[in-house]
Structure 1
Amino acid sequence: MTVDFTFNIITIILDLIAWVSIGIISFHIYQKKAIKLKAWKVIVVLYIGLFSFNINWPMFDTVVKLPILPLGVWILYFILKRKEGRWETYRSHAWLGFGANVIFIATTLLAVPLQHVFYPEEVATTYLSNIENAYSIPVHPSATEKKINKVTLKNQLPNMTVEMVYSQDWYEETYMEMESNERNERFPYQLTGVTSKWGSGKSPVIYIEIDGKGLLIKTKEKELYFRSVDSFLEEVN
Protein backbone atom coordinates (compact mmCIF):
# COMPACT_ATOMS: atom_id res chain seq x y z
CA MET A 1 0.00 0.00 0.00
CA THR A 2 1.27 3.46 -0.82
CA VAL A 3 -0.34 6.38 0.92
CA ASP A 4 0.29 8.25 4.16
CA PHE A 5 -2.69 10.56 3.82
CA THR A 6 -5.88 8.90 2.63
CA PHE A 7 -8.33 11.74 3.17
CA ASN A 8 -9.64 13.79 0.27
CA ILE A 9 -9.01 17.44 1.05
CA ILE A 10 -11.49 18.67 -1.59
CA THR A 11 -14.33 16.65 -0.06
CA ILE A 12 -13.44 17.87 3.44
CA ILE A 13 -13.43 21.53 2.37
CA LEU A 14 -16.70 21.25 0.45
CA ASP A 15 -18.40 19.42 3.33
CA LEU A 16 -17.23 22.16 5.69
CA ILE A 17 -18.65 24.80 3.33
CA ALA A 18 -21.94 22.88 3.23
CA TRP A 19 -22.22 22.72 7.01
CA VAL A 20 -21.36 26.42 7.36
CA SER A 21 -24.05 27.26 4.79
CA ILE A 22 -26.61 25.16 6.66
CA GLY A 23 -25.60 26.85 9.91
CA ILE A 24 -26.04 30.33 8.43
CA ILE A 25 -29.50 29.50 7.04
CA SER A 26 -30.50 27.95 10.36
CA PHE A 27 -29.31 31.04 12.23
CA HIS A 28 -31.43 33.33 10.02
CA ILE A 29 -34.48 31.13 10.68
CA TYR A 30 -33.66 31.20 14.40
CA GLN A 31 -33.50 35.01 14.43
CA LYS A 32 -36.92 35.32 12.82
CA LYS A 33 -38.60 33.19 15.45
CA ALA A 34 -40.65 35.04 18.05
CA ILE A 35 -39.81 32.31 20.55
CA LYS A 36 -36.10 31.85 21.06
CA LEU A 37 -35.19 28.19 20.87
CA LYS A 38 -32.39 26.34 22.60
CA ALA A 39 -29.46 25.85 20.24
CA TRP A 40 -28.97 22.15 21.08
CA LYS A 41 -32.62 21.40 20.27
CA VAL A 42 -32.26 23.12 16.90
CA ILE A 43 -29.15 21.04 16.15
CA VAL A 44 -30.97 17.81 17.08
CA VAL A 45 -33.92 18.72 14.85
CA LEU A 46 -31.60 19.57 11.95
CA TYR A 47 -29.75 16.29 12.36
CA ILE A 48 -32.91 14.17 12.47
CA GLY A 49 -34.32 16.10 9.53
CA LEU A 50 -31.37 14.94 7.44
CA PHE A 51 -32.62 11.34 7.50
CA SER A 52 -34.30 10.39 4.25
CA PHE A 53 -35.02 7.49 1.95
CA ASN A 54 -32.51 7.78 -0.88
CA ILE A 55 -31.91 6.23 -4.26
CA ASN A 56 -28.42 5.93 -5.70
CA TRP A 57 -28.04 7.69 -9.03
CA PRO A 58 -24.79 7.46 -11.05
CA MET A 59 -23.82 10.90 -12.29
CA PHE A 60 -20.50 12.29 -13.61
CA ASP A 61 -18.33 9.36 -12.50
CA THR A 62 -19.81 9.34 -9.01
CA VAL A 63 -22.87 7.96 -7.24
CA VAL A 64 -25.26 10.59 -5.88
CA LYS A 65 -27.78 9.80 -3.15
CA LEU A 66 -31.03 11.45 -4.18
CA PRO A 67 -33.39 12.08 -1.22
CA ILE A 68 -36.89 10.89 -2.07
CA LEU A 69 -38.81 10.62 1.21
CA PRO A 70 -38.25 12.92 4.23
CA LEU A 71 -38.13 10.20 6.89
CA GLY A 72 -36.60 12.50 9.51
CA VAL A 73 -39.26 15.15 8.99
CA TRP A 74 -42.01 12.56 9.41
CA ILE A 75 -40.43 11.27 12.61
CA LEU A 76 -40.21 14.78 14.02
CA TYR A 77 -43.79 15.54 13.03
CA PHE A 78 -45.20 12.53 14.89
CA ILE A 79 -43.07 13.30 17.95
CA LEU A 80 -43.59 17.07 18.12
CA LYS A 81 -47.28 17.22 17.23
CA ARG A 82 -48.13 15.73 20.63
CA LYS A 83 -47.68 19.14 22.20
CA GLU A 84 -49.58 22.04 20.67
CA GLY A 85 -47.43 24.52 18.78
CA ARG A 86 -44.19 22.55 19.07
CA TRP A 87 -44.25 21.20 15.50
CA GLU A 88 -44.93 24.67 14.13
CA THR A 89 -41.98 26.00 16.13
CA TYR A 90 -39.47 23.49 14.78
CA ARG A 91 -40.99 22.74 11.37
CA SER A 92 -38.75 25.09 9.37
CA HIS A 93 -35.61 23.63 10.95
CA ALA A 94 -36.83 20.10 10.26
CA TRP A 95 -37.38 20.87 6.58
CA LEU A 96 -34.02 22.65 6.45
CA GLY A 97 -32.47 19.37 7.62
CA PHE A 98 -34.09 17.54 4.73
CA GLY A 99 -33.16 20.32 2.30
CA ALA A 100 -29.55 20.07 3.47
CA ASN A 101 -29.35 16.85 1.46
CA VAL A 102 -29.60 18.96 -1.69
CA ILE A 103 -26.68 21.11 -0.52
CA PHE A 104 -24.58 17.97 -0.01
CA ILE A 105 -25.54 16.74 -3.49
CA ALA A 106 -24.33 20.05 -4.92
CA THR A 107 -20.98 19.78 -3.12
CA THR A 108 -20.61 16.15 -4.27
CA LEU A 109 -21.14 17.16 -7.89
CA LEU A 110 -18.80 20.13 -7.51
CA ALA A 111 -16.11 17.85 -6.10
CA VAL A 112 -15.95 15.83 -9.33
CA PRO A 113 -14.55 18.56 -11.65
CA LEU A 114 -12.35 19.94 -8.86
CA GLN A 115 -10.93 16.47 -8.32
CA HIS A 116 -10.02 16.24 -12.01
CA VAL A 117 -8.37 19.67 -11.92
CA PHE A 118 -6.24 19.17 -8.81
CA TYR A 119 -5.75 15.40 -9.00
CA PRO A 120 -5.98 14.36 -12.67
CA GLU A 121 -6.44 10.62 -12.98
CA GLU A 122 -4.37 10.24 -16.14
CA VAL A 123 -1.23 11.82 -14.68
CA ALA A 124 1.19 9.41 -13.03
CA THR A 125 2.40 11.94 -10.42
CA THR A 126 -1.08 11.95 -8.90
CA TYR A 127 -0.33 8.45 -7.62
CA LEU A 128 3.46 8.75 -7.24
CA SER A 129 4.16 12.14 -5.75
CA ASN A 130 7.02 11.12 -3.47
CA ILE A 131 9.29 8.24 -4.50
CA GLU A 132 12.22 8.80 -2.13
CA ASN A 133 11.54 5.52 -0.33
CA ALA A 134 10.41 3.55 -3.38
CA TYR A 135 11.34 -0.09 -3.71
CA SER A 136 10.09 -3.13 -5.59
CA ILE A 137 8.81 -6.41 -4.17
CA PRO A 138 8.67 -9.59 -6.28
CA VAL A 139 5.10 -10.93 -6.17
CA HIS A 140 5.47 -13.78 -8.65
CA PRO A 141 7.93 -16.71 -8.93
CA SER A 142 8.99 -15.55 -12.40
CA ALA A 143 10.37 -12.28 -11.00
CA THR A 144 14.12 -11.91 -10.57
CA GLU A 145 15.48 -9.62 -7.87
CA LYS A 146 15.63 -6.05 -9.15
CA LYS A 147 15.67 -2.59 -7.65
CA ILE A 148 14.18 0.77 -8.56
CA ASN A 149 16.37 3.35 -10.25
CA LYS A 150 14.78 6.34 -8.51
CA VAL A 151 16.47 8.93 -10.71
CA THR A 152 15.16 7.31 -13.88
CA LEU A 153 11.69 6.83 -12.42
CA LYS A 154 11.51 10.44 -11.25
CA ASN A 155 12.55 11.69 -14.70
CA GLN A 156 10.10 9.38 -16.47
CA LEU A 157 7.01 10.11 -14.35
CA PRO A 158 6.02 13.51 -15.86
CA ASN A 159 6.11 12.06 -19.39
CA MET A 160 4.43 8.71 -18.78
CA THR A 161 1.48 8.09 -21.07
CA VAL A 162 -1.74 6.29 -20.28
CA GLU A 163 -2.44 3.26 -22.45
CA MET A 164 -5.31 0.81 -22.73
CA VAL A 165 -5.60 -1.90 -20.09
CA TYR A 166 -5.81 -5.21 -21.96
CA SER A 167 -6.83 -7.41 -19.05
CA GLN A 168 -8.26 -10.22 -21.19
CA ASP A 169 -5.36 -10.24 -23.65
CA TRP A 170 -2.79 -10.22 -20.85
CA TYR A 171 -4.58 -13.07 -19.12
CA GLU A 172 -4.60 -15.14 -22.30
CA GLU A 173 -0.91 -14.34 -22.92
CA THR A 174 0.02 -15.55 -19.45
CA TYR A 175 -2.30 -18.47 -18.85
CA MET A 176 -3.70 -19.67 -22.16
CA GLU A 177 -0.80 -19.56 -24.61
CA MET A 178 2.01 -21.04 -22.49
CA GLU A 179 2.72 -24.20 -20.60
CA SER A 180 2.54 -23.83 -16.82
CA ASN A 181 6.33 -24.09 -16.45
CA GLU A 182 6.90 -21.30 -18.98
CA ARG A 183 4.49 -18.70 -17.63
CA ASN A 184 5.81 -15.24 -16.87
CA GLU A 185 3.61 -12.78 -15.01
CA ARG A 186 3.33 -9.51 -16.94
CA PHE A 187 3.48 -7.47 -13.70
CA PRO A 188 5.66 -9.53 -11.34
CA TYR A 189 6.70 -6.66 -9.04
CA GLN A 190 4.81 -4.41 -6.65
CA LEU A 191 5.98 -0.83 -6.20
CA THR A 192 5.80 0.25 -2.58
CA GLY A 193 7.21 2.95 -0.31
CA VAL A 194 5.73 5.74 -2.47
CA THR A 195 3.07 8.30 -1.61
CA SER A 196 0.34 9.76 -3.78
CA LYS A 197 -0.33 13.48 -4.07
CA TRP A 198 -1.15 15.00 -0.70
CA GLY A 199 -4.86 15.31 -0.04
CA SER A 200 -5.89 13.29 -3.10
CA GLY A 201 -7.46 10.49 -1.08
CA LYS A 202 -5.82 8.01 -3.46
CA SER A 203 -4.68 4.72 -1.99
CA PRO A 204 -3.50 2.71 -5.01
CA VAL A 205 -1.78 -0.61 -5.35
CA ILE A 206 0.94 -0.30 -7.99
CA TYR A 207 2.50 -3.11 -10.04
CA ILE A 208 5.59 -2.87 -12.25
CA GLU A 209 5.74 -4.47 -15.69
CA ILE A 210 8.45 -7.08 -16.24
CA ASP A 211 10.39 -4.80 -18.62
CA GLY A 212 10.46 -2.02 -16.04
CA LYS A 213 8.68 0.44 -18.35
CA GLY A 214 5.07 -0.02 -17.30
CA LEU A 215 3.02 0.67 -14.18
CA LEU A 216 -0.38 -0.88 -13.50
CA ILE A 217 -2.11 1.32 -10.94
CA LYS A 218 -5.17 -0.08 -9.22
CA THR A 219 -7.52 2.15 -7.21
CA LYS A 220 -10.95 1.42 -5.77
CA GLU A 221 -12.54 2.87 -8.89
CA LYS A 222 -10.40 1.70 -11.82
CA GLU A 223 -7.16 0.39 -13.28
CA LEU A 224 -4.70 2.62 -15.13
CA TYR A 225 -1.73 1.51 -17.21
CA PHE A 226 1.18 3.94 -17.63
CA ARG A 227 4.17 3.44 -19.95
CA SER A 228 7.58 5.12 -19.89
CA VAL A 229 10.28 5.33 -22.57
CA ASP A 230 13.11 3.98 -20.42
CA SER A 231 13.18 1.16 -17.89
CA PHE A 232 13.41 2.18 -14.24
CA LEU A 233 14.28 -1.32 -13.02
CA GLU A 234 17.86 -2.47 -12.71
CA GLU A 235 19.65 -5.60 -11.61
CA VAL A 236 20.74 -5.89 -7.98
CA ASN A 237 24.52 -6.03 -7.77
Structure 2
Amino acid sequence: MYELNKTAFGSFLAQLRREKGMTQKELAACLYVSDKAVSKWERGLSVPDISLLVPLAEQLNVTVAELLHGCRVEEEQRFTREETEELIRKALTFSAEPPERRQARTQKFLPLYGVSVVLGLVETAAVWAVGLAGTEGAMMLLIINVIFGIVYGAYTLFWMPETLPRYYDENHVCNFAQGAFHMHIPGVYYNNRNWLHVLKAMRVWCVVSMLLTPLCTAAAVVFEQATGWQVWCAVLIGYIASLFGAIVIPAKKYQ
Protein backbone atom coordinates (compact mmCIF):
# COMPACT_ATOMS: atom_id res chain seq x y z
CA MET A 1 0.00 0.00 0.00
CA TYR A 2 2.91 2.33 0.75
CA GLU A 3 5.32 0.87 -1.79
CA LEU A 4 8.12 3.23 -2.73
CA ASN A 5 8.17 4.25 -6.40
CA LYS A 6 11.50 2.68 -7.28
CA THR A 7 11.55 4.14 -10.79
CA ALA A 8 11.03 7.72 -9.57
CA PHE A 9 13.48 7.18 -6.74
CA GLY A 10 16.13 5.83 -9.11
CA SER A 11 15.70 8.58 -11.68
CA PHE A 12 15.93 11.29 -9.03
CA LEU A 13 19.00 9.63 -7.54
CA ALA A 14 20.73 9.49 -10.91
CA GLN A 15 19.85 13.13 -11.58
CA LEU A 16 21.28 14.27 -8.23
CA ARG A 17 24.45 12.24 -8.70
CA ARG A 18 25.09 13.76 -12.13
CA GLU A 19 24.43 17.25 -10.78
CA LYS A 20 27.12 16.61 -8.16
CA GLY A 21 29.50 15.47 -10.91
CA MET A 22 29.96 12.09 -9.27
CA THR A 23 30.28 8.69 -10.89
CA GLN A 24 28.42 5.69 -9.55
CA LYS A 25 31.72 4.35 -8.25
CA GLU A 26 32.49 7.59 -6.36
CA LEU A 27 29.05 7.69 -4.74
CA ALA A 28 29.35 4.01 -3.85
CA ALA A 29 32.72 4.61 -2.18
CA CYS A 30 31.21 7.33 0.02
CA LEU A 31 28.53 4.90 1.22
CA TYR A 32 30.80 1.82 1.48
CA VAL A 33 28.76 -0.10 -1.08
CA SER A 34 29.56 -1.38 -4.57
CA ASP A 35 28.93 0.60 -7.75
CA LYS A 36 26.66 -2.27 -8.83
CA ALA A 37 24.38 -1.46 -5.89
CA VAL A 38 24.14 2.21 -6.96
CA SER A 39 23.44 1.11 -10.53
CA LYS A 40 20.55 -1.08 -9.35
CA TRP A 41 19.11 1.77 -7.31
CA GLU A 42 19.20 4.14 -10.27
CA ARG A 43 17.59 1.57 -12.57
CA GLY A 44 14.79 0.96 -10.10
CA LEU A 45 15.77 -2.67 -9.52
CA SER A 46 16.30 -2.24 -5.78
CA VAL A 47 16.41 0.44 -3.10
CA PRO A 48 19.07 1.24 -0.49
CA ASP A 49 18.78 0.10 3.09
CA ILE A 50 17.14 2.47 5.55
CA SER A 51 20.51 2.98 7.29
CA LEU A 52 21.82 4.57 4.08
CA LEU A 53 19.05 7.14 3.61
CA VAL A 54 20.62 9.86 5.78
CA PRO A 55 24.22 9.54 4.44
CA LEU A 56 22.86 9.26 0.88
CA ALA A 57 20.79 12.42 1.29
CA GLU A 58 23.77 14.24 2.81
CA GLN A 59 26.04 13.27 -0.08
CA LEU A 60 23.48 14.59 -2.59
CA ASN A 61 22.53 17.76 -0.62
CA VAL A 62 18.84 16.95 -0.31
CA THR A 63 16.60 15.97 2.57
CA VAL A 64 15.52 12.41 3.20
CA ALA A 65 11.94 13.50 2.52
CA GLU A 66 12.93 14.84 -0.90
CA LEU A 67 14.84 11.65 -1.63
CA LEU A 68 11.82 9.50 -0.82
CA HIS A 69 9.46 11.86 -2.63
CA GLY A 70 11.58 11.70 -5.79
CA CYS A 71 11.87 15.45 -6.38
CA ARG A 72 13.12 18.68 -4.84
CA VAL A 73 10.81 20.73 -2.66
CA GLU A 74 11.01 24.53 -2.66
CA GLU A 75 11.72 26.16 0.68
CA GLU A 76 8.35 27.87 0.77
CA GLN A 77 6.57 24.57 0.23
CA ARG A 78 5.84 22.25 3.13
CA PHE A 79 4.66 18.69 3.25
CA THR A 80 1.22 18.24 4.67
CA ARG A 81 0.70 15.95 7.63
CA GLU A 82 -0.70 13.26 5.36
CA GLU A 83 2.25 13.51 2.96
CA THR A 84 4.73 13.33 5.84
CA GLU A 85 3.04 10.25 7.27
CA GLU A 86 3.06 8.60 3.86
CA LEU A 87 6.81 9.25 3.46
CA ILE A 88 7.44 7.79 6.91
CA ARG A 89 5.51 4.66 6.04
CA LYS A 90 7.49 4.34 2.82
CA ALA A 91 10.74 4.64 4.74
CA LEU A 92 9.57 1.92 7.12
CA THR A 93 9.37 -0.50 4.20
CA PHE A 94 13.19 -0.51 4.32
CA SER A 95 14.70 -3.19 6.54
CA ALA A 96 15.60 -2.37 10.15
CA GLU A 97 16.30 -4.40 13.27
CA PRO A 98 13.27 -4.32 15.60
CA PRO A 99 14.02 -2.66 18.96
CA GLU A 100 12.49 -5.66 20.76
CA ARG A 101 15.12 -7.92 19.24
CA ARG A 102 17.94 -5.63 20.37
CA GLN A 103 16.48 -5.42 23.86
CA ALA A 104 16.27 -9.21 24.11
CA ARG A 105 19.88 -9.50 22.97
CA THR A 106 20.99 -7.02 25.63
CA GLN A 107 19.26 -8.98 28.36
CA LYS A 108 20.83 -12.20 27.07
CA PHE A 109 24.44 -11.01 26.89
CA LEU A 110 24.61 -8.47 29.72
CA PRO A 111 25.51 -11.02 32.46
CA LEU A 112 28.23 -12.58 30.28
CA TYR A 113 29.63 -9.17 29.44
CA GLY A 114 29.60 -8.01 33.05
CA VAL A 115 31.39 -11.12 34.35
CA SER A 116 33.99 -10.98 31.57
CA VAL A 117 34.76 -7.32 32.19
CA VAL A 118 35.12 -7.82 35.96
CA LEU A 119 37.36 -10.89 35.61
CA GLY A 120 39.43 -9.22 32.91
CA LEU A 121 39.99 -6.12 35.02
CA VAL A 122 40.83 -8.22 38.11
CA GLU A 123 43.38 -10.26 36.13
CA THR A 124 44.89 -7.12 34.64
CA ALA A 125 45.15 -5.45 38.07
CA ALA A 126 46.73 -8.58 39.53
CA VAL A 127 49.33 -8.80 36.77
CA TRP A 128 50.12 -5.12 37.29
CA ALA A 129 50.26 -5.43 41.08
CA VAL A 130 52.75 -8.32 41.17
CA GLY A 131 55.07 -6.53 38.78
CA LEU A 132 54.52 -8.71 35.70
CA ALA A 133 53.69 -5.71 33.53
CA GLY A 134 57.06 -4.07 33.98
CA THR A 135 57.94 -3.68 30.31
CA GLU A 136 56.52 -0.97 28.10
CA GLY A 137 55.27 -3.53 25.58
CA ALA A 138 53.49 -5.57 28.23
CA MET A 139 51.77 -2.50 29.68
CA MET A 140 50.64 -1.42 26.22
CA LEU A 141 49.17 -4.84 25.49
CA LEU A 142 47.25 -4.79 28.77
CA ILE A 143 45.85 -1.34 28.01
CA ILE A 144 44.81 -2.39 24.51
CA ASN A 145 43.16 -5.51 25.90
CA VAL A 146 41.14 -3.51 28.45
CA ILE A 147 39.99 -1.02 25.81
CA PHE A 148 39.04 -3.73 23.31
CA GLY A 149 37.39 -5.89 25.95
CA ILE A 150 35.18 -3.13 27.33
CA VAL A 151 34.45 -1.01 24.25
CA TYR A 152 34.73 -3.47 21.37
CA GLY A 153 33.11 -6.23 23.43
CA ALA A 154 30.10 -4.07 24.26
CA TYR A 155 29.77 -3.05 20.63
CA THR A 156 29.79 -6.60 19.25
CA LEU A 157 27.44 -7.91 21.92
CA PHE A 158 24.87 -5.14 22.05
CA TRP A 159 25.05 -2.79 19.07
CA MET A 160 26.29 -4.59 15.97
CA PRO A 161 23.27 -5.63 13.86
CA GLU A 162 22.67 -9.34 13.50
CA THR A 163 21.14 -8.89 10.05
CA LEU A 164 22.82 -7.01 7.24
CA PRO A 165 21.00 -4.79 4.73
CA ARG A 166 19.81 -6.71 1.68
CA TYR A 167 22.29 -5.02 -0.64
CA TYR A 168 25.00 -7.14 1.02
CA ASP A 169 23.29 -10.21 -0.43
CA GLU A 170 22.93 -8.62 -3.85
CA ASN A 171 26.56 -7.48 -4.19
CA HIS A 172 30.07 -8.43 -3.13
CA VAL A 173 30.61 -5.99 -0.25
CA CYS A 174 33.82 -6.16 1.77
CA ASN A 175 33.07 -3.15 4.00
CA PHE A 176 30.99 -2.84 7.13
CA ALA A 177 30.46 0.62 8.57
CA GLN A 178 28.29 1.72 11.46
CA GLY A 179 28.93 5.13 12.92
CA ALA A 180 32.61 5.48 13.77
CA PHE A 181 33.21 1.74 13.41
CA HIS A 182 34.60 0.53 10.08
CA MET A 183 35.63 -2.99 9.15
CA HIS A 184 37.34 -3.65 5.83
CA ILE A 185 39.45 -6.68 4.90
CA PRO A 186 40.18 -6.97 1.16
CA GLY A 187 38.83 -10.19 -0.29
CA VAL A 188 36.48 -10.87 2.63
CA TYR A 189 32.84 -10.34 1.66
CA TYR A 190 29.92 -10.13 4.08
CA ASN A 191 26.35 -11.26 3.58
CA ASN A 192 23.52 -12.71 5.62
CA ARG A 193 24.84 -16.25 5.08
CA ASN A 194 28.06 -15.64 6.97
CA TRP A 195 27.44 -12.50 9.03
CA LEU A 196 25.92 -14.15 12.09
CA HIS A 197 28.80 -16.66 12.16
CA VAL A 198 31.28 -13.79 11.96
CA LEU A 199 29.47 -11.93 14.72
CA LYS A 200 29.44 -14.98 17.00
CA ALA A 201 33.17 -15.54 16.46
CA MET A 202 33.91 -11.89 17.23
CA ARG A 203 31.88 -12.08 20.44
CA VAL A 204 33.74 -15.20 21.56
CA TRP A 205 37.05 -13.54 20.73
CA CYS A 206 36.21 -10.49 22.83
CA VAL A 207 35.36 -12.58 25.89
CA VAL A 208 38.24 -15.05 25.56
CA SER A 209 40.86 -12.40 24.77
CA MET A 210 39.90 -10.34 27.81
CA LEU A 211 40.36 -13.36 30.06
CA LEU A 212 43.48 -14.88 28.48
CA THR A 213 45.54 -11.84 27.44
CA PRO A 214 46.58 -10.80 31.01
CA LEU A 215 47.69 -14.38 31.73
CA CYS A 216 49.59 -14.68 28.46
CA THR A 217 51.19 -11.27 29.04
CA ALA A 218 52.35 -12.33 32.50
CA ALA A 219 53.80 -15.54 31.08
CA ALA A 220 55.57 -13.59 28.34
CA VAL A 221 57.16 -11.23 30.88
CA VAL A 222 58.34 -14.16 33.00
CA PHE A 223 59.93 -15.99 30.08
CA GLU A 224 61.27 -12.80 28.54
CA GLN A 225 64.19 -12.90 30.94
CA ALA A 226 65.38 -16.13 29.32
CA THR A 227 64.26 -15.79 25.72
CA GLY A 228 64.21 -12.03 25.09
CA TRP A 229 61.54 -9.88 23.41
CA GLN A 230 60.49 -12.64 21.00
CA VAL A 231 58.09 -14.19 23.52
CA TRP A 232 56.21 -10.95 24.17
CA CYS A 233 56.17 -10.21 20.45
CA ALA A 234 54.64 -13.64 19.83
CA VAL A 235 51.82 -12.82 22.28
CA LEU A 236 51.09 -9.55 20.48
CA ILE A 237 51.12 -11.22 17.06
CA GLY A 238 48.85 -13.97 18.38
CA TYR A 239 46.46 -11.34 19.75
CA ILE A 240 46.16 -9.55 16.42
CA ALA A 241 46.11 -12.73 14.32
CA SER A 242 43.35 -14.26 16.43
CA LEU A 243 41.18 -11.17 15.88
CA PHE A 244 41.60 -11.38 12.11
CA GLY A 245 41.01 -15.12 12.26
CA ALA A 246 37.74 -14.62 14.11
CA ILE A 247 36.55 -12.50 11.18
CA VAL A 248 38.13 -14.14 8.15
CA ILE A 249 37.61 -17.84 8.92
CA PRO A 250 33.80 -17.82 9.40
CA ALA A 251 33.36 -15.24 6.62
CA LYS A 252 35.19 -17.46 4.14
CA LYS A 253 33.67 -20.70 5.40
CA TYR A 254 30.05 -19.61 5.11
CA GLN A 255 30.41 -17.16 2.22
TM-score, normalising length: structure 1: 0.23
TM-score of the two chains, using structure 2 as the length reference? 0.22
Higher strand share goes to which structure?
1
More helix by share: 2
Q: Which is bigger in relative contact order (C-alpha 8 A, separation at least 6)?
A: 1
